[in-house]
Amino acid sequence: MLFRAAAKGTHVRSLSSSRLQRPATPQSVGTRLDLMNPTTSAQPSGAANVMVPNETEPQLLLRAKGYPYPRPDTSFLFVRGEVLEFDNDQWRGLNHMHEIVGRCGSSAAEFCSSRGLDLVGLSREDLFVPVLAIGSNAGPEQLRRKYPEADFPDCVIPVVQVALEDFDVVYTPYIASYGSCTATLEHSPGTVTSIFITYLTPPLMERMHATEGGYNLCRLTELRLHVAPRGQQDCTGGAATATTAAASAIAPASTGAPAETEDGMAASQLAAAAGAGPSSCFEVLDWVYQYNHKLGCIQMPLRGQEGSPVAIAEIPAIRRAFPAASQVQMLTALKEALENPNSFGPLAPVAMPGSVEDDGLDQWILHMVRDDQARKRACCRLAKCARPFTYPSCEIVAAL
């Protein structure tokens, strides 16, 4: 398998590498967890779609409009509902988790021990499966809903920041039962996006399966996935982000006008913020598991131009090829597209991104959440504007 040159000191791990002859490889995961026929043994009681009982209207709206939810600006351990943030240069692989020192000064081993868990015994590569977290699965808020302490008292999830080349995180042609338009991955050559890997044990992965209805578990190969990028300090003393760190290695080879991140920073500025010289990371992976929506992404009809996928503005990226919208902007656009007459087709063309929240958006969201038939009718219309995921190096492992 061919690779571009990696930064000095960076490991490149291939699917065929001898280092990957462990249960986290595609061939051996199935021997420990039947991915093609996931069971429900790891589901807690209650709905698998992570609905929260007795939510008030403000809570419903906050949840719907808050997707993909806040997440730390660095890697972290999710331990029984609590979070230990740590700098990316602390990550030296699963076998060394217990050696991590968090930003709070506590060691990961002590953090877990004080909560009744033995991290030393868990610090083994063969216990975990690497799965991208592109949307809400990187948010502690969502992880607490999926892994309540009462049902998963031994839950430890390493959530490691990564920078993925040539993909973007975009919206699906789907409105979830909790009112959000959810995320999926789309091939986007030249784009670099800052996301996360969750390392899941088989019981935790079974539970994740149960919460990912409408998605396929895929195995993506031929990737450039920078794990735990080590960005140098910027001029303010703050640590560079994963996207910044990757950009410092990739930006010199780019051509054309510099693309921008959502805050308007050019790629060249990102590279400068990361400091002179190549960025580094713990390793560069060429494969990973990923939950991708069965229908692909939405090809949003845009007013005065061709339809396009829409990137999720809350997810940092550089050299974005697609228009980006926040969750509120996207829901506002979907409301407008669905409410206009159907003479245009399944959806009326809209301006993207929308600039203001529609006055009736809250009531529309509540209607989608409370009237499941209305939501399903809306999803049927959105599905007619789906753009299938056609990345060639993708194998569907399980349809969920």
Q: Is residue 332 predicted with pLDDT exceeding 90?
A: yes
Tens of pLDDT, residues 276-302: 233 589 999 999 999 999 999 999 999
Model confidence at 324, in pLDDT bands (50, 70, 90)? Answer: very high
Query: Is 41 part of any domain?
Result: no
pLDDT band at 268, cuts 50/70/90?
very low
> Between β-strands 317-318 and 181-200, what pairing exists: parallel, antiparallel or unpaired?
antiparallel
What HEC string does 258-278 produce? Answer: CCECCCCCEHHHHHHHCCCCC
Q: Are 89 and 250 in contact (CB under 8 A)?
A: no
Greater pLDDT, 99 or 280: 99
In this structure, the strands spanning 297-298 and 75-79 are unpaired
Give per-residue pLDDT as tens, 172-188. Answer: 999 999 999 999 999 99
pTM beyond cutoff 0.75:
yes
Residue, of 8 and 122, whose pLDDT is higher: 122
Per-residue pLDDT at 125:
94
pLDDT bracket for residue 217 (50, 70, 90): very high
pLDDT of residue 252: 44
- Does residue 4 lie in a domain region? no
Report the domain count for the chain.
1
Return the H-helix or E-strand segment holding 215. Answer: strand 215-227
Q: Give domain status of residue 153, yes or no.
A: yes
Asked if residue 320 is part of any domain, the answer here is yes
CA 220, 222, 224, 225 torsion-angle sign? positive
Nearest alpha carbon to residue 124 among 100, 97, 84 = 97
For residue 396, what are its two tokens? 């569907």
Residue 235 pLDDT greater than 80, yes or no = no
* Structural domain span for residue 215: 11-36+52-399
Helix axes 361-370, 57-66, angle to 10 degrees: 100
SS3 50: coil
Q: Is residue 43 part of a domain?
A: no
